């Protein structure tokens, strides 16, 4: 199952025909540069090219009014003067004789993408379109947008395919108010947007973009706004919001389809956004969404006005959709105070709607909201001259080329266990050096040569992963604890790598190597944990062990992922005991999500008897989407309290675990 790419050169054939400083950044080159980069990097060739079509009147009327459609229909025949007059009725948008045609292609391309994904022709895909869509409203063009491509697509998917729940993730730096308005009372569409806001001083300057706007009537709780009140947001800020707001809610919601308003003006260098997230963050944002909805994800271009940052970000997104492992993200030094304030606000505004947020801190006594009111009342004349400031050109390193290893998944299996399709059975020619070392360290008293052979293969496999010859692996071993010790010690001493060890079930875990931070151990079990030994050893005790799906997913999304990102391992070792009580679905989610770390270098250790889940594990390691878990019920209250207490305690050492700003409270947890 592949990745669709939708593009048609025709959509480059309109442009601004008069002088308008607000619109001059929306240029045809945005599309050509993005498409050329996909060709040059060989990514376009790896995609399934799907032809674009024009959206029909019926398609457009799913979201827009008849009057508006009829008005836009006349624009191809207008004189320049008429076009300027027509344009003047709307905000920050321009018309051109060919824009109606292009707008029909942009919406149609989005629908072709939805068709390709929903019929199973491809797993996921991206549509490179102009004009963008998320600002356009039922009866109004706005913000370079004519028809609301993604909103139309969501309605279309509901109508044509009976899709029950659609998640729209709007990572563009502007608020997609058009999408919000289209679904504000509709609980079948969850709309999430983060956006530059600056207490309503940034375009489109709407009260409706703030965190306390959550949707109306039946749709209450299904609009999520994360307003950024300062510029310069970084990778940590974006990942924090994903881990502590979007992903927990998205998993609870359980969409049948994910649509992304993929604007890249939220990346570094963009003149509109003025944010500082690196282009490779989009590999992570994409990857983290790819295990929802069975992988059915459609990314649709919205904004992005720095041509360099734009094409780099587009390539990162498409390469991730194609299944290549994500690069290790740089500079995860924790969220900013302003980002934490926004996080705190949106979590508290939504705690009554989502059980995963039930324990979120209450709002700090109106501090943030009063700030907004105060600032809104202030004289805004100071901002007027800001437009023409001599903006220094931002520079950032080009994201390194992502080279997928020649072998994706290697398995160490007993001879009687079949090797799943597309995986490679791995056995090493014995390295006497390694064998001797192993004998000395681990198997002194034992003459078990089989065990020794298996362990030395394991070490050889780790070495190939380190050399980027193999991406990930799975081993069925006799003694999971012993195998884990072996790998950890070898990796920490011989390879000088950082290992994130994730244990599911009760087992002996490496203690000695955690002190210097070369290993971070996170252990999930139902045994009342001994106290945490140090920053790098984190026992997580869930009452029902890993058997409770909601509690465990909550732990994975808002504890394990942020810890993993901040620790930034070069290898993830995932081990599980035979009696862990975990179902295949959750296991696949865990395996899938962990591959966002360590460039996808994941090594899974399973007990020999567990050959039954080799296929499910291998499927995740190959990058196939995990199956959806269903709408999650509330996690057991005890588990939620345990996790919350743990997060509170650990956040001093691990900044990505923070969900409130230092002085705006958070002590009044409830
Ligand atoms: N300084 C999209 O990103 N405001 N639209 C421009 C110029 C309008 C953005 C002000 C921005 C519209 C799809
Ligand atoms: Zn934008």
Could you read off the pLDDT of 113-154 as tens digits, one per residue?
999 999 999 999 999 999 999 999 999 999 999 999 999 999
- Tally the domains of the chain: 2
Nearest CA to ligand 1 atom 12: 143
Rounded mean pLDDT, 298-319: 98
Show the tokens assigned to 269.
């260098």
What residues have their beta carbon closer than 5 A to ion ligand 2?
172, 174, 263, 265, 303
Candidates 264, 47, 261; CA nearest to 154 is 261
> Are residue 188 and residue 294 in the same domain, yes or no?
yes
Q: How far apart are CA 134 and CA 648, in angstroms?
A: 37
Query: Does any domain span residue 354?
Result: yes
Stretch 413-424: mean pLDDT: 92
Ligand 1 centroid distance, CA of 657 (Å): 33
Write out the residue range of the structural domain in which residue 165 sits. Answer: 3-379
- Among all bound ligands, the one having the nearest atom to the CA of 383 is 1
Taking the CA of residue 21 as reference, the ligand 1 atom at the shortest distance is 7
Looking at the fold, whether 371 and 428 belong to one and the same domain comes out as no
Confidence (pLDDT) at 534: 84
CATH number for the domain including 529?
Answer: 3.40.800.20
- Assess whether 323 and 415 both reside in one domain: no
Tokens of 376: 């809104």
Structure tokens at 63: 């979201």
Does residue 465 sit in the same domain as residue 354? Answer: no
In order of 201, 305, 394, 648, the CA distances from 385 in angstroms are 14, 21, 21, 44
* 426 and 575 fall within a common domain: yes
Name the residue with the closest Cα to ligand 1, atom 6. Answer: 22
**Domain assignment present for 135:** yes
| Shortest-distance atom of ligand 1 to CA 387 | 1
568 found inside a domain: yes
Does residue 253 lie within any of the structural domains?
yes
Out of 20, 133, 135, 137, give the residue to mutate to test ligand 1, the one with the largest number of ligand atoms within 8 Å of its CB. Answer: 135
Which atom from ligand 1 is nearest to the alpha carbon of 305?
3
Q: What is the CA radius of gyration of the chain?
A: 25
Q: What CA–CA distance (Å, rounded) separates 320 from 60?
A: 30
The rounded distance, in Å, linking the Cα atoms of 226 and 365 is: 19
In a domain, 63, yes or no: yes
Provide the CB-side half-sphere exposure for 9 (13 A, CA): 1
The answer to whether residues 440 and 304 belong to one domain is no
- Please state, as a whole number, how many other Cβ atoms lie within 10 Å of the Cβ of residue 438: 21
Question: Are both 222 and 110 inside the same structural domain?
Answer: yes
Whether residue 595 lies inside any domain: the answer is yes
Burial of residue 448, with CB atoms counted within 10 A of its CB: 0-12 exposed, 13-18 middle, 19 or more buried = middle
Per-residue confidence band for 493, with pLDDT thresholds at 50, 70 and 90? confident
Query: What are the angstrom distances between the C-alpha of 120 and each of 2, 126, 136?
Result: 9, 15, 30
Q: Is 466 exposed, middle or buried (0-12, 13-18, 19+ CB in 10 A)?
A: middle
Q: Is residue 222 exposed (0-12), middle (13-18) or buried (19+ Cβ within 10 Å)?
A: buried
Q: How confident is the model at residue 586 (pLDDT cuts 50, 70, 90)?
A: very high
Cα(133) to centroid(ligand 2), Å: 10
State in Å: Cα 264 to ligand 2 middle.
7
Per the DSSP assignment, residues forming a β-bridge with 169 are: 192, 260
Same domain for 521 and 604, yes or no, is: yes
| Packing angle of the helix pair 337-350, 367-377 (nearest 10 deg) | 110
Task: Specify if 384 maps to a domain.
Answer: no
pLDDT digits (tens, 9 = 90+) for 535-546: 899 999 887 766
Q: Closest-lying ligand to the alpha carbon of 132?
A: 1
User: Which of residues 580, 604, 622 is at a domain's end?
Assistant: 622
Q: Are residues 498 and 615 both part of a single domain? A: yes
- For residue 508, the model assigns a pLDDT of 83
Mean pLDDT of 289-301: 98
State the Cα–Cα distance between residues 255 and 293, nearest whole angstrom. Answer: 5
Higher pLDDT, 181 or 516: 181
Q: Which atom of ligand 1 is nearest to the CA of 303?
A: 3
Where does the pLDDT of residue 382 fall: very low under 50, low under 70, confident under 90, or very high at 90 and above? very low
Q: What is the pTM of this model?
A: 0.96
Instruction: Locate 325 and state its tokens.
Output: 């492992």
Residue nearest to atom 7 of ligand 1 (CA): 22
φ/ψ of 334, rounded to 5, equals 100, 155
Domain assignment of residue 53, yes or no: yes
β-strands 407-412, 166-170: how paired? unpaired
- Dmax over Cα atoms in the chain, in whole Å? 91
If one residue of 128, 130, 171, 174 were mutated to test the ligand 1 pocket, choosing by the most ligand atoms within 8 A of its CB, it would be 174
- Phi then psi for residue 666, to 5 deg, are 120, -10
Give the confidence band of 669 by pLDDT, cuts at 50, 70, 90. very low
How many angstroms separate the CA atoms of 186 and 218, rounded?
A: 6
| Claim to verify: residue 487 and residue 370 sit in the same structural domain | no
Based on the fold, state whether residues 475 and 556 are members of the same structural domain.
yes
CA distance 581 to 547: 5
- For residue 135, indicate whether it is catalytic: yes
pLDDT at 67 over 80: yes
* Same domain membership, residue 169 and residue 235: yes
pLDDT for the residue numbered 261: 99
Q: Which of 35, 64, 134, 135 is catalytic?
A: 135
Residues with CB under 6 A from ligand 1: 22, 92, 132, 135, 143-145, 172, 174, 203, 263, 265, 272, 302-303, 387
26 pLDDT band, cuts 50/70/90, is very high
Which atom of ligand 1 lies closest to the CA of 172?
3
């Amino acid at each position: 199952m592949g990745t669709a790419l939708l593009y048609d050169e025709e959509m480059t054939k309109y442009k601004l025909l008069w002088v308008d400083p607000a619109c001059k950044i929306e240029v045809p080159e945005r599309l050509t540069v993005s498409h050329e980069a996909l060709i040059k990097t060989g990514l376009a060739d790896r995609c399934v090219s799907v032809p674009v079509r024009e959206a029909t009147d019926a398609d457009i009327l799913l979201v827009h009014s008849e009057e508006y459609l009829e008005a836009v229909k006349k624009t191809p025949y207008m004189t320049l003067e008429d076009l300027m007059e027509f344009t003047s009725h709307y905000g920050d948008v321009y018309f051109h004789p060919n824009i109606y045609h292009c707008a029909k292609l942009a919406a149609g391309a989005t629908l072709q993408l939805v068709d390709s994904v929903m019929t199973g022709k491809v797993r996921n895909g991206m549509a490179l379109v102009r004009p963008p869509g998320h600002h356009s409203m039922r009866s109004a063009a706005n913000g370079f947008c004519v028809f609301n491509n993604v909103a139309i697509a969501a309605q279309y998917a509901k109508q044509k395919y009976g899709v029950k729940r659609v998640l729209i993730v709007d990572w563009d730096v502007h608020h997609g108010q058009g999408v919000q308005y289209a679904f504000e009372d509709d609980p079948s569409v969850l709309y999430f947007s983060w956006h530059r806001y600056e207490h309503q001083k940034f375009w489109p300057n709407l009260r409706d973009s703030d965190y306390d706007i959550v949707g109306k009537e039946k749709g209450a709780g299904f609009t999520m706004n994360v307003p950024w009140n300062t510029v310069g947001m970084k990778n940590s800020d974006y990942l924090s919001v994903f881990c502590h707001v979007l992903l927990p809610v998205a998993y609870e919601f359980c969409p049948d389809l994910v649509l992304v308003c993929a604007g890249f003006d939220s990346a570094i260098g963009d003149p509109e956004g003025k944010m500082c997230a690196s282009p490779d963050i989009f590999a992570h944002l994409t990857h983290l969404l790819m295990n929802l909805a069975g992988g059915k994800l459609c990314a649709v271009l919205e904004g992005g006005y720095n041509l360099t940052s734009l094409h780099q970000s587009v390539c990162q997104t498409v390469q991730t959709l194609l299944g290549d492992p994500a690069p290790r993200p740089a500079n995860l030094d924790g969220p900013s105070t302003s980002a934490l304030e926004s996080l705190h606000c949106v979590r508290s505004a939504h705690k009554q709607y989502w059980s995963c947020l039930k324990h979120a801190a209450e709002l700090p006594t109106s501090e943030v909201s009063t700030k907004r009111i105060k600032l809104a009342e202030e004289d805004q004349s100071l901002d007027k001259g800001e437009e023409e400031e001599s903006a220094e050109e931002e520079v950032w390193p080009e994201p390194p080329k992502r080279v997928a290893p020649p072998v994706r998944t290697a398995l160490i299996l007993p001879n009687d266990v079949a090797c799943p399709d597309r995986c490679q059975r791995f056995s090493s020619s014995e390295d006497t050096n390694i064998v001797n070392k192993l004998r000395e360290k681990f198997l002194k008293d034992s003459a078990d040569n089989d065990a020794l052979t298996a362990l030395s293969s394991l070490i050889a496999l780790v070495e190939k992963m380190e050399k980027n010859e193999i991406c990930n692996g799975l081993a069925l071993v006799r003694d999971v604890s012993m195998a884990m010790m072996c790998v950890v010690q070898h990796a920490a001493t011989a390879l000088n790598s950082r290992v994130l060890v994730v244990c599911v079930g009760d087992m002996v875990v490496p203690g000695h190597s955690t002190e210097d931070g070369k290993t971070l151990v996170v252990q999930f079990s139902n045994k009342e944990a001994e106290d945490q030994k140090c920053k790098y050893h984190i026992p997580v005790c869930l009452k029902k062990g890993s058997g409770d799906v909601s509690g465990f997913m909550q732990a994975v999304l808002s504890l394990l992922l942020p810890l993993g990102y901040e620790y930034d391992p070069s290898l993830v070792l995932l081990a599980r005991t035979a009696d862990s009580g975990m179902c295949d679905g959750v296991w696949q989610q865990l395996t899938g999500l962990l591959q966002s770390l360590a460039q996808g270098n994941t090594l899974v250790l399973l007990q020999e008897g567990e050959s039954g889940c080799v296929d499910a594990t291998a499927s995740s390691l190959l990058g196939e989407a995990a199956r959806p878990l269903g709408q999650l019920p509330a996690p057991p209250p005890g588990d939620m309290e345990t996790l919350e207490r743990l997060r509170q305690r650990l956040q001093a050492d691990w900044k990505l675990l923070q969900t409130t700003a230092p002085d705006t409270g958070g002590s009044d947890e409830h």
